[in-house]
Chains A and B, each alone.
Chain A
Amino acid sequence: MARFLRPESFSAATEDLLLLPFNFERAGAHQYLVANMVGDFVRLSEEELNRLVDLQVRPGDGLYEKAYAAHLVTGTNQKAQRQLLAARLRSRMSFLQQTTPLHIFVVTLRCEHSCPYCQVSRQSTDRSRFDMNEQTAMSALDIAFASPTARIKIEFQGGEPLLNFPLIRKIVAAAKQRSGKQLDFVIASNLALLDDTVLEFCKENNVLLSTSLDGPADLHNKNRPRPDANSHELAVAGIRRAREILGPDRIGALMTTTEASLDRVDEIIDEYLQLGLDGIFLRPLSPFGFAIKTKQFAKYDAQKWLAFYERGLRRVLEINRQGTPFREFYAALLLTRMLSDRPIGYVDLRSPAGAGLGALVYNYDGSVFASDEGRMLAETGDDAFRLGHVEHDSYNSLILSDKLIGAISSSLTQCAPECSTCVYESHCGADPVYHHATQGDALGIKPLSAFCARQKGIMGLLLDILENSPEDAAILRRWAAA
């Protein structure tokens, strides 16, 4: 029998070691949070980080093992770690292979609600002015079908899209007649006009419903006024009816946080729970109203919102600990990014940005926008994200327009100041529309950005729970599971 060699025989010499790219952030007096190229986190002390950067690490000293397993250090002659990082990065970014999977049709701007946080709807009953016409719709469909992805989702928005239900029928029928793409349909509706005809149509055509539910009746009705002050009643009745007719997974609800919501997150969550919904998406305040006026106010607002979010997340975890599976969908999205390499092309949280590359918005009048928020900006006179018009443009001319390329290329987190060195970069996204709206610049100054403050705040919170609260961590890990 040949002799066996001792562990030391397999150690690399210091001169054969090489640092791999990583980002870090101070996380306490002498503590650093470190993220490798694909966003795996590891905590190092200041002394460890200094030793690592100087490559003063030796196999067997504990730090070498920690840094090697986290792909912070490799051997000059080794290939596997670099190939692993490349493969994982490729997987994480592969959402780019599905170019423009979402197409939003604003079939009307009219609405019977008069929500103060809405920037776009009109009370008008003047159909000819604010409804999309059939010709515009068919031209928009041409563009949607010219996007390279094999599967597209067509989402009907408004205003209240059910006010122009006949056009929805026509678009769905026309889309189904065309071949070559898998199709998903969604109607984003307040459900006030939901009736059996609509439900039957949804059932026949496998159309999903998405609605707004801001919380308990008084809060919801305050946020979402309509003539009979019964928005909540109609929404709840609509959700119940839709679940019954279409099935429990065929309707989703979204909430919008207003100032009046900030102290009531438990009640808002309980409202969702009571309706039998399987989770809630705690969304930030819309930046396109009052919050936009001063940068500092926006930042202050982010802190208030984060407190609201944390209270909400902890309530959701408590519900899970008590035995009811219930998710907070934004956390689930971030956790999927943080704990796996599955490609997440969520339009508001990706870089390159989702504007245009993730979604196109066809407005009632034929204007095409890079995002829903872009269309809202246009309603207040800012055409920065108006890419063109369905009558004069093709998919290619829209996607390759200088406006879109400019916004996307100037906002890449991979090379933006503050972002490119941020420890959370792998899991974050570029939001050029938001930063244009709040700071007049698609890139924006990140320390002044409420978007940035929210992202870092939530990811910091999730990391804290993952590391320090085993029972809650197990729940969070389940949300990230495939």
Chain B
Amino acid sequence: MTLPLYGTASQSAGFSSDKARSILRLRSVDSAAERHVADFAIARTPDDIRRAIEADWPSILFVSDGSIDLCGTFTGQLVAVPPKYNYLADGDVIGFDHASRKFRTLYRRNSAHNSFLVTERCNNYCLMCSQPPKNVDDRWILSEIRESLPLIDPATRALTFTGGETLSDWEDFTAVLKECRDRLSATAIQVLTNGRAFADSRIVDAWKEIGHPNLMAAIPVYASVDHVHDHVVQAKGAFDETILGILKLKDRGQRVEIRVVLHALTAPIIEDTGRWIARNLPFVDHVALMGLENTGFAIANDTMLWMDPVDYGDGLARAVDHLSAAGVNVSVYNLPKCVLPKSVWPHALQSISDWKNGFVEECDRCDAKTTCSGFFTTGRPRFSRGVRAIISQRDESTALAG
């Protein structure tokens, strides 16, 4: 299943017209937490609404399939959303556009997979981009993030910033990260970036200056050879800037993760890429070798990019070996265990964000389901011919037969 993170409110009232958008934080009707001006009591029944009004809530978000008529009993702010957004809960944060009544879930307190889209602009144009870039002025998003940060639970374990290229407006964005340092110092902050901006010493110095205790730049490297990487990201010179950026970050003691998305242009050479990273960049903090999310440009370029993971499993296993032997912390993301060689299993993580993670029927019989990544539910999922329930007993009989 895919959790709907975008939607349109069925009803809204009480929002002033001098502001186009508001950030809302949801609170249980009975919440004893100190109320912030952005807080909305979350009501799921007419009784909840009655109790919210009694408790003097000035703002209410109502999750319901019917419309509601409060007939002057309530004069505060009201938003009503359809029942499929019933997952919204205490501590969650949403962005709400007054005129169009469109809203977006920005933060779910109970999720381990919270991410903020920073911009849709990018100076790469990756063949498999799951979030195809748009050349639009979307700087309002950063303001919305700044407004959201004070509403986020400081106990949040991890937060990701993604794009587009997150460093497109690097000065504003590093200011947001400084805010994270001040408000969310215990949260692991991960920033997805193509790393090219860090070739500029001013930017990498600004990054260092942020000083968040747990900040990681996650940067893609698709090959050990310039033109192969540049072709994948559709930008000549990108490889040189990205590698230079990684070096400058590490030179300044910053944490770096390298990400390799696996598809028909990168997977056949993954052993070479893994060996090259192990030899040249063993000081990076983590390497993630990632199955392709078949959405966005990946669908448009399907014939160029699709490769069944079972056909690159051996190379992937050798890449993992090279990296592990060099002492590099390596993980495999987004690939179900049944399509991977066994030696890779200890590295295969449940990496797919909860809101777009699913399993197929075959998985119901599988003993590894509870520790498996499963599948993306987004876009147009493609399934490996290797998908097959892992059953311990069968493993034994296969071993005997072998």
What A residues does B234 contact at CB under 8 A? 4-5
Whether B226 lies near A68 (C-beta < 8 A) is yes
Asked if B244 is at the interface (CB within 8 A of a chain A CB), the reply is: yes
| A335 CB → nearest B CB, Å | 11
Q: Closest residue of chain B to A59, judged by CB?
A: B227
What are the residues of chain A within 8 A of B132 when measuring CB–CB? 1
Within 8 A of A (CB), among B292-316: 297, 300-301
Stretch at the interface among A73-81, A259-267, A402-410, A425-433: A73-81
Between A and B, 15 residue pairs with Cβ closer than 8 Å are A1-B300, A4-B234, A7-B228, A65-B225, A65-B228, A69-B224, A78-B226, A79-B244, A80-B243, A83-B243, A339-B326, A340-B326, A341-B282, A481-B326, A482-B326
**Docked CA distance A2–B242 (Å):** 23
Contact B247–A84 (Cβ < 8 Å)? yes
A150 contacts the other chain (CB 8 A):
no
Over the window 268-285 of chain B, the binary record of Cβ atoms lying under 8 Å from chain A Cβ atoms (1 yes, 0 no) is 000010001001111000
Q: Kindly state whether residue A310 has any CB partner on chain B within 8 Å.
A: no
Give complex CA distance A257, B280 in Å: 37
What is the bound-complex CA distance between A80 and B237, given in angstroms?
10
Q: Which residues of B contact A (CB under 8 A)?
A: 125, 127, 132, 199, 224-228, 230-231, 234, 236-237, 239-244, 247, 251, 272, 276, 279-282, 297, 300-301, 321, 325-327
Chain B residues, CB < 8 A from A78: 226, 240
Residues of B near A1 (CB, < 8 A) are 132, 297, 300
| The residue from A7, A79, A88, A482 contacting B280, defined by CB atoms under 8 A apart | A88
CB A145 to nearest CB in B, in angstroms, measures: 31
Q: Is the beta-carbon distance between A2 and B125 smaller than 8 angstroms?
A: yes
Looking at the assembled complex, report how far the CB atom of A340 sits from the nearest CB atom of chain B, in whole angstroms.
Answer: 7
Judging by beta carbons under 8 Å apart, are A75 and B325 in contact?
Answer: no
A341 to B282, CA, bound (A): 9
A12 to B237, CA, bound (A): 10
Question: Residues 51-73 of chain A: 1 if any B CB is under 8 Å from the residue's CB, otherwise 0?
Answer: 00000000110001100110000
B227 → A minimal CB distance (Å): 4
Q: Are A83 and B225 in contact (CB under 8 A)?
A: no
For A12, the chain B residues whose CB sits under 8 A away are 226-227
A83 touches B244 (CB 8 A): yes
Which of A's residues lie within 8 Å of B, judged by CB? 1-2, 4-7, 9-12, 40, 59-60, 64-65, 68-69, 75, 77-81, 83-84, 87-88, 339-341, 474, 477-478, 480-482
Q: Which residues of A contact B199 (CB under 8 A)?
A: 79
**Number of residue pairs A-B, CB distance < 8 angstroms:** 81
CB–CB B127/A40 < 8 A: no
How many angstroms between the C-alpha atoms of A83 and B300 in the bound complex?
37
> Is A83's CB under 8 angstroms from B247's CB?
yes
Contacts A10-B230, A83-B247, A88-B280: A68 and B240 contacting too (C-beta < 8 A)? Answer: no
Expressed in whole angstroms, the Cα–Cα distance for A341 and B250 within the complex equals 15
Give Cα A9 to B231, complex, Å.
Answer: 8
CB A214 to nearest CB in B, in angstroms, measures 33
Q: Is the CB of A481 within 8 A of B243?
A: no
Tell me, rounded to whole Å, the shortest Cβ–Cβ distance linking B246 to chain A: 9
B260 to chain A, nearest CB (A): 15
CA distance A59 to B321 in the complex (A): 28
- On whether the beta carbons of B280 and A84 are closer than 8 Å, the reply is yes
Q: Name B132's closest neighbour in chain A (CB-CB).
A: A1
By a CB distance below 8 angstroms, the chain A residues around B325 are 339, 477-478, 480-481
Task: Tell me whether A40 and B279 are in contact (CB under 8 A).
Answer: yes
In whole angstroms, what is the CA distance A83 to B234 when docked? 24
| Min C-beta distance of A331 to chain B, whole Å | 15
User: Which of chain B's residues have a CB closer than 8 A to the CB of A340?
Assistant: 282, 326
Cα–Cα distance between A80 and B243 once the two chains are bound (Å): 6
B residues less than 8 Å from A478 (CB atoms) = 325
Q: How far is the CA of A3 from the CA of B327 in the complex (A)?
A: 41
A10-B236, A40-B279 are known contacts. Are A75 and B226 too (CB-CB below 8 A)?
A: yes
Cα A465 to Cα B272 in complex, Å, equals 19
**Which residues of A sit under 8 angstroms from B127, Cβ to Cβ?**
4
Q: What CA separation (Å) do A482 and B278 show in the bound complex?
A: 12
B residues in contact with A481, CB < 8 Å: 325-327
Tell me if A10 and B227 are in contact (CB < 8 A): yes
Residue of A at shortest CB range from B250? A87
The chain A residue sitting closest to B239, CB to CB, is: A80
In angstroms, how far is the closest chain A Cβ from the Cβ of B135? Answer: 9
- B contact residues around A5 at 8 Å (CB): 231, 234
- Closest CB of chain B to A86's CB: distance in Å? 9
Q: How far is the CA of A474 from the CA of B321 in the complex (A)?
A: 9
Among A4, A9, A60, the residue within 8 A (CB) of B236 is A9
Residue of B nearest to A69 (CB): B224
Complex interface: chain A residues within 8 A of B326 (CB): 339-340, 481-482
* B231 partner residues in chain A, CB cutoff 8 A: 5-7, 9-10
Q: Is the CB of A4 within 8 A of B301?
A: yes
Of A9, A60, A65, A341, most buried by chain B (CB within 10 Å of CB) is A65
* Chain B min CB distance to A5 (Å): 6
A92 CB → nearest B CB, Å: 12
Nearest 8 pairs of A and B residues by beta carbon: A80-B243, A69-B224, A10-B230, A482-B327, A10-B227, A78-B240, A80-B244, A59-B227
Q: Give A131 to B314 CA distance when docked, in angstroms.
A: 63
- Smallest beta-carbon distance B29→chain A, Å: 46
In the bound assembly, the distance between CA atoms of A69 and B236 in angstroms comes to 17
Q: What is the minimal beta-carbon distance from A209 to any residue of chain B, in angstroms?
A: 30
Hey, which chain A residues are within 8 Å of B241, CB to CB?
Answer: 80
Given A4-B234, A12-B226, A69 and B272 contact (CB-CB distance below 8 Å): yes
One of B240, B244, B327 near A75 (C-beta < 8 A) = B240
Residue from B236, B247, B251, B327 in contact with A80 in the complex, judged by beta carbons closer than 8 Å: B247
**Min distance, Cβ B116 to any Cβ of chain A, angstroms:** 25
Chain A residue numbers with a CB within 8 Å of B239 are 80
Contacts of A2 in B (CB 8 A): 125
Residues of B within 8 A of A4 (CB): 125, 127, 234, 301
* B240:A80 contact, CB within 8 angstroms: yes
**Bound CA–CA A60/B226 (angstroms):** 11
Please indicate the chain B residues that have their CB under 8 angstroms from the CB of A65 in the complex: 224-225, 228
A59: B residues at CB distance < 8 A? 225, 227
Note all chain A residues with C-beta closer than 8 A to B227: 7, 10-12, 59-60
- Closest CB of chain B to A73's CB: distance in Å? 10
Query: For residue A7, which residues in chain B have a CB less than 8 angstroms away from its CB?
Result: 227-228, 231
Q: In the complex, are the beta carbons of B276 and A69 less than 8 A apart? A: yes
Query: What are the residues of chain A within 8 A of B282 when measuring CB–CB?
Result: 340-341
Residues of B within 8 A of A482 (CB): 326-327
Q: How far is the CB of B300 from chain A (nearest CB, A)?
A: 7
Instruction: Please report the C-alpha to C-alpha distance between residue A373 and residue B322 in the assembled complex, in whole angstroms.
Output: 39
Q: Is the CB of A79 within 8 A of B327?
A: no
**A84, B243: Cβ atoms under 8 Å?**
yes
Closest-by-CB residue of B relative to A477 is B325
Q: Which residues of chain A have C-beta atoms less than 8 A from B300's C-beta?
A: 1
Min C-beta distance of B130 to chain A, whole Å: 14
Residues of chain B within 8 A of A75, CB atoms compared: 226, 240
